[in-house]
Amino acid sequence: MMPSDDDTPTDIKLRRKSRVVAITYADGRQHSLSFEYLRTHSPSAEVQGHGPGQEVLQIAKENVTVLGMEPIGRYAVRLLFDDGHDTGLYTWKYLRELGEDFNTKWARYLERLAGIGYERKPPPTSV
């Protein structure tokens, strides 16, 4: 299925210093998705499982870095993370969903972490 024009970004940038992928759409919407959010919500089977209810909670990803992005045709991008994860294909539609549903998805992720007693570690501060 081809993404709609509304889902196709007009610009996508890797911002290493602020640790986000910045995405702009033709309708003027913009999303800045953190590396941690993208890694913990990867569309890969390693994260999503092979069916409903098989999702694998990702922990200790607070300081993960995106090393690069590879375009996949005209419909997706592959993100290369410093923890070796590189199997998720982030379609334009999925990136849009991650941006539009950020508050719900992030809150659910934090609830799941709290449910196992995991406390997120703040990123190291520079000296």
pTM, 2 dp: 0.90
Buried-state track 33-70, b at ≥16 Cβ within 10 A, e below 16? bbbbbbbbbbbbeebeeeeeeeeeebeebeebebeeee
pLDDT at residue 3 in the model: 43
Q: What are phi and psi of 37, to 5 degrees?
A: -60, -45
List the domains of the chain with CATH numbers. Answer: 9-115 (3.30.2020.30)
94: pLDDT strictly greater than 70: yes
Burial of 92: CB neighbours in 10 Å, binned 0-12, 13-18, 19+: buried
Q: What is the pLDDT of residues 7-19, one digit of tens each?
A: 899 999 999 999 9
Q: What is the pLDDT of residues 40-80, one digit of tens each?
A: 999 999 899 888 888 899 999 999 999 999 999 999 999 99
126: pLDDT strictly greater than 80: no
pLDDT at residue 1 in the model: 33
